[in-house]
Every structure is written in C-alpha cells, then in structure tokens.
Chain A
C-alpha cells in the first residue's frame, strides 16, 4: 500500500474490511478531497458515493475495525469502557435527564466502530411519506416543511434501496412504490399472523429490510453480521468504498477538534495510534451520529467559544427520539405461535385526522415467559404491591402459566413520531466530554398522541390477547436525530438545504442530525438517501472546481 490507498478485491467474496486500514501518518501526509468523520449508515454511504465518483476519501472512525466474523449483540449490561470499545459499542453511557429529573446513566444502542450503530440495527429500511417532509392537505408540517421536498428525495430513496438491497412489498394504503426486490416467502405461522391482522381490519405488508439473504443468512437483526449480507454502513458503505481503491480507512482514530480558519475547516485534530495528527481535506463530511456530531462541534471552540458552526445557538438542540410502543400479541385460538419475526409492517395509524403517529412493525423478538415476567415485575415495582413479599416470584409464575396456556407472543413495536423542541438537547458531559449529556422533556403534545396511538392499537386488536409492554413513554435511544437541523434560515437552522453548515464553506453533515422532524418510520433509509444526496452535491462542487482550475 505504498500509495497510502488500499485495495479490496471483491465485495461479494468474504468481506475483509481490515485490508483498508491505513496508518495515520500516511493519511496526514496527503491532502484528501473529502474526509468523512464516522462510518455509520450516513458516513459509510456518503463515502462510498464519493469514492465511486473518483474522489479521494478518508474515513476517520473513532471505534475499532473489529473482526469481520464478529456476531455480537449490542449489550447494555457491559459497563467496562474498553470491553465496550472492543465490541464496537459506544464506550460510555449516556447521561439522560428526563423531564428535569436527576441524570440517569444508561447504555444506549449506539455503536462506535466501522459501520457505527448500523452494524447493530435490525435492517429496517422503510420509506417515509410525503407528509413526513411537506405540508399535505389536512396535515400541515410542524416545521412548515423541509427545505428539500419529497420529490427531490425520491431518486435518492431509489438509489439507497438499490445499494442496500432492500426487499419487501408496497404498503397497500399508500401510492408509494414497493422495493424492487421481493421479500422471502412467509412461513405458515407468519401467514396466519398476516391473516389475523387483516381480519382485524389492518393492512399489513412485508416489512422492508436491508438484507441480501445470502445462503447461510442467519437473520443478523440487532447484531453484527459476519457476512456481506446485512446491508449497513460497513457492508454497503465502507467496504465497497475501499474496493474502489480511492478510499482509505483510519479506525481507532478519534477526531478531537475541527480547526476553523477563515470560514472553512482547515484541519482536523485527530488522535490515532496513540499520537495526535493533523488531517486536511477540501471538504469535511461530519457523520458521527446525532449525539456525537453536535458534540464534536460544541467541543471545537478554537474560534468560537459557543462551538463550531453554532452561530444559531442550535447545535445539539432539537434532539428527537421516537417513542417505542411495545405490544405483545398472542396468536388467536388455533393459530400457531409465530415467535420472533420481522416480517410485517402496517401503516394504518401512520397519520390520522391531522395527527402524526407512525409505523407499526413486528420486532423480531418473542414475548416468552421471561419477558412477560420482567414486564409484570416492572409493573409491580410501580404499584402498591411492591412491598408484598414474594410478589416477584408470583409474577414469574403467572407469566409461566400464561406462556403455557397462550404460547409465546409476537412483539409489535409502534413508532411514534417525536417533534423537535429546543429544550431537548445533547451536549458533552462536563465531567467527561466523551459522554453525551441529554436533557429531554416528554411534551404534553407527545403524551396526548401516545394516548391516542395506544387506544387505536387497543381497539383494533381488541379481539386478540394483547398486552402493552411499555408502561411509561419509552424513548428509543437508538433513533436520535435533529441536533443539526437543515433549513433555509441561518437563524433557525444549522445547515442549509444542501446540508452544508450555514457558517462554514466546506463542512457538510451526512447523519441523522440533519432531520428537522423525526418521521413516522425508522430513520436508516432516509439517512442513507440524504447522505447520497449530500455526496452528489459535494462531487458536483469538486468537479466544477477542478474544471475551473484546468
């Protein structure tokens, strides 16, 4: 690798991302067309698109390369910093101050390694609808509409679905096209579940999933996939980017500061190989995730004490998650147990009477006796019965009898759209800048929509044995977004319509931070589509510059 670049032989052969690992000193010795910070679904796909258009691309990834055969689940029971880091988990907890309460430290489903959080995602790749981005008749958009509309995004959704090998079928309730690839055949119990939901008046369709389903596919939902099968920031981004020979990867390399000079990012201060190096590029793409991208800007105080790109004061503000509404649904009498399945989605409550709710999908886990027992214990812990001796064991027994009588339930999860509020924010923790400090208030408006969402679900599924597993509003810490929103007014947004920082000429953002609203679907496909769009903006700009120079 004398030229500092790397070769990746064949993306369909056994993937070996490690071949692209370069040395920090080599990366510092040259000027890159583009440096991409972070290798999740956004950074990975942006870097791939740029490299495929012939630009020199350097990926800088804070986490490790990892071994390509790894298959771990993202754990929240592992506290050791280094043990988390080795596994590609974000090494620190998040400190969350919910509704003004004292901070609680939790390990969120946030990755830090090649592929970022996306190597742990459940491969959900659902398209949002027009009303998620624009005002539509009867459904005004809470932001007045994104600066880029649905039609401009459409070709990038098509491209993202193609690159991510998305398969599934069209939602019968909308005029959205289905993915080009069809979903694998349903098992008999899954088909009976579809029928049961249809009988309840719902319109289920085959969930859209980013799985190539190569021979030997083991459904790596929620864990690292050892094959080039689950399509994520690593398998559909970094690895094909390295295959072009135009890209290089620096893993275990943490960007400490963006150095600003004359309205541009002139340098990245990076800690790698135990030393500090300075990297330079014509364009910097920030894609460290919606918690850590704003935190890097807030830590970059060399020029402005309020942080880089923060003239609006909005960096880190407007943080949204989704609320997850978990429902255990038991099979009807005579129907077989379905077990863990990710096969279906439905959008019957996606938006109703001018209210935004979201998609419901099967979650890929079963509610067996253990899960129901832990739910019952959680309920007991909140009730007056909590002092009753043996109540925990009673819950376990009740759950066991329930499971014996009713079988295992399928868990459905409803996504409830969360809207941006300025007081909901992330910033570096004063005690440890690596740890995101989150302030979040669940608004009354959100609580009211949750009540409505639950009552719709309860009413529709009333003929089934069902149980809500979410006792209180449950934030999905795996879906952070909105902390560097894009918009047309520099006073009310951080990025312009091209996802370039209003304040800086060469800083772009390609992760979930740009989202002005959280939509009613999983964010992955939209992050990918927007990252591809941003990459095209950058490639066109660098192409124009090169032509002017020659």
Chain B
C-alpha cells in the first residue's frame, strides 16, 4: 500500500532501535513500504521479528556494541540517513523498590541508548551535511506517574538531549534535523484503553522522519501534529495581533 501523497523514502537508510516493540516494528514496515532501506536493531536474536526487515543485534546500553553494529550497517546498507531512537524500557517499580542499579539501568537504555546511537550515526551525517534523528519521548517528564522514576527521568532527559543536539549542531549543520515525537501508543497505567493503534501512529512517525526542513529542528510532535506549549489567552491575542504565531505542522 503506497499513497502518492506520502513522502517518498527511496534512498534513505533508516535505523530503528528496538524494532521488536509493536511501534518499532510498525515504523520499520511503514518506512520500508515507502521505499526506505530499514535496519532494525534488536536486543536479542530471539526477539527478531519475522517481517522481512533486516535485523541486527545490538545492546544499546553498550557503546562498543552500538558502534560495531553501525559499522556493519554502513558496510552493508550505506551510511544511516535517519535514526529513530525508539528503544526504551518502562519498569513498573515503586521508588522504594528501585535500587541504584535498577534506576541507572533504565537510564542506560532509555537515555544512554539514544546517545550511543546518535554518537554512532552523527559522524556520517556530519560528513554528508544532512541527517534526521527522531527521539521517541513522552510527557512523563512533565508529570511523572507513580512507579515510573527511572522512566520519567530518562525520557525527560532524552527531550533535553534533543535540545542539546540542536544547540550544538543546529546552526552549524542545518541539514541535520532532530525532533521529538510522542506517538501516543503508550498505555501509561494499566487499565487505560484509549491508546493509538501502533500501525496508525507509525504512519505519522514515518512521515515525520521523512520531513527534513531545518525549521523543524528541536520541535516536539504529539501523535499526528506539532505540539506547541500551551499559551495564555493574552499571549495568544498578542501573537494574533502582531502576526507572530505560526501554524502547527501536521503529519496526518
């Protein structure tokens, strides 16, 4: 299934960390359908999905493992042009049960894994002068749910990493575009049913990953549209009068 309105992904080499999650797999399939060469990273060989996507094993916590798998990707498929940092764990753990090790392990995957992949992908993006990084994030940093200390801290820090990447690279390499995306596929608490179908969310995510305008650098997307922080009525009126506000970017 390919819509003519969908951005074409031919020539792109996409790396998705943890493509064994339902969202990761759906993202991989959506981008592959649009013509991209997708490489899925998985933590364990046993997790590899039977969906035809080339999959490589990497422990995103381990910089050496990540560096090696990116070398293999470059050798077999070419330099990655798009990186989707999707690997995460979300242990349900009361903070009284959390140990220094368990807490840091969540950070090592959710934050360290994203940094390790950026670190491995950036040199060839810098050499090309272009590249695309999408960090899959949440609002957990704004309002941490109970039992989610490690998760909330790591995902909040990942949003800061996005802004830090833009601070260091945005002006120098306008062609390297980093954005945050909240897919809306998570059920934050057991019993919550209002969750987006990963296959639908993946279409939005694929579109976002293929948008390359430098203007998007550092912006946050929620589900199928850009998320602009809430503004006071006065601020909205002022922006309207002065013509300052801008239209939110939509993915759907």
Identify the A interface with B (CB < 8 A): 67, 69-73, 75, 87, 226, 369, 393, 396-397, 400, 404
User: If the complex has contacts A75-B171, A87-B171, A87-B172, are A69 and B128 also in contact, measured as CB distance less than 8 A?
Assistant: yes
B173 touches A69 (CB 8 A): yes
Could you say which residues of chain A place their CB within 8 Å of the CB of B172? 67, 70-72, 87
B230 CB within 8 Å of chain A: no
Could you say which residues of chain B place their CB within 8 Å of the CB of A69? 126-130, 173, 175
Chain B 116-159: CB-based contact to A (< 8 A → 1; otherwise 0): 00000000001111100000000000000000000000000000
A76 vs B172: C-alpha distance when bound (angstroms): 15
A430 vs B162: C-alpha distance when bound (angstroms): 40
B238 → A minimal CB distance (Å): 8
Could you say which residues of chain A place their CB within 8 Å of the CB of B129? 69, 71, 226
Identify the B interface with A (CB < 8 A): 126-130, 171-175, 238, 241-243
18 residue pairs A–B, Cβ–Cβ below 8 Å:
A67-B126, A67-B127, A69-B126, A69-B130, A70-B173, A71-B175, A72-B171, A72-B172, A75-B171, A87-B171, A87-B172, A369-B242, A396-B242, A397-B241, A400-B241, A400-B242, A400-B243, A404-B243
A79 vs B21: C-alpha distance when bound (angstroms): 43
A369 vs B239: C-alpha distance when bound (angstroms): 13
B214 → A minimal CB distance (Å): 9
A69 vs B127: C-alpha distance when bound (angstroms): 7
A73 vs B173: C-alpha distance when bound (angstroms): 11
A476 → B minimal CB distance (Å): 23
Q: By CB atoms of chain B within 10 A, which of A71, A73, A75, A400 has the most? A: A71
A372 vs B128: C-alpha distance when bound (angstroms): 37
B243 touches A369 (CB 8 A): yes
A72 vs B175: C-alpha distance when bound (angstroms): 11
Residue of A nearest to B176 (CB): A69
A332 vs B128: C-alpha distance when bound (angstroms): 44
Could you say which residues of chain B place their CB within 8 Å of the CB of A87? 171-172
Residue of A nearest to B126 (CB): A67
A358 vs B173: C-alpha distance when bound (angstroms): 36
A334 vs B243: C-alpha distance when bound (angstroms): 23
Residue of B nearest to A218 (CB): B174
A393 vs B129: C-alpha distance when bound (angstroms): 40
B232 → A minimal CB distance (Å): 15
A397 touches B242 (CB 8 A): yes
Could you say which residues of chain A place their CB within 8 Å of the CB of B130? 69
A364 → B minimal CB distance (Å): 17
Could you say which residues of chain B place their CB within 8 Å of the CB of A393? 238
B169 → A minimal CB distance (Å): 10
A99 vs B3: C-alpha distance when bound (angstroms): 67
B98 → A minimal CB distance (Å): 36
A392 → B minimal CB distance (Å): 12
A73 vs B242: C-alpha distance when bound (angstroms): 27
A75 vs B130: C-alpha distance when bound (angstroms): 21
Could you say which residues of chain A place their CB within 8 Å of the CB of B242? 369, 396-397, 400
A413 → B minimal CB distance (Å): 24
User: If the complex has contacts A396-B242, A397-B241, A397-B242, are A73 and B126 also in contact, measured as CB distance less than 8 A?
Assistant: no
B6 → A minimal CB distance (Å): 25
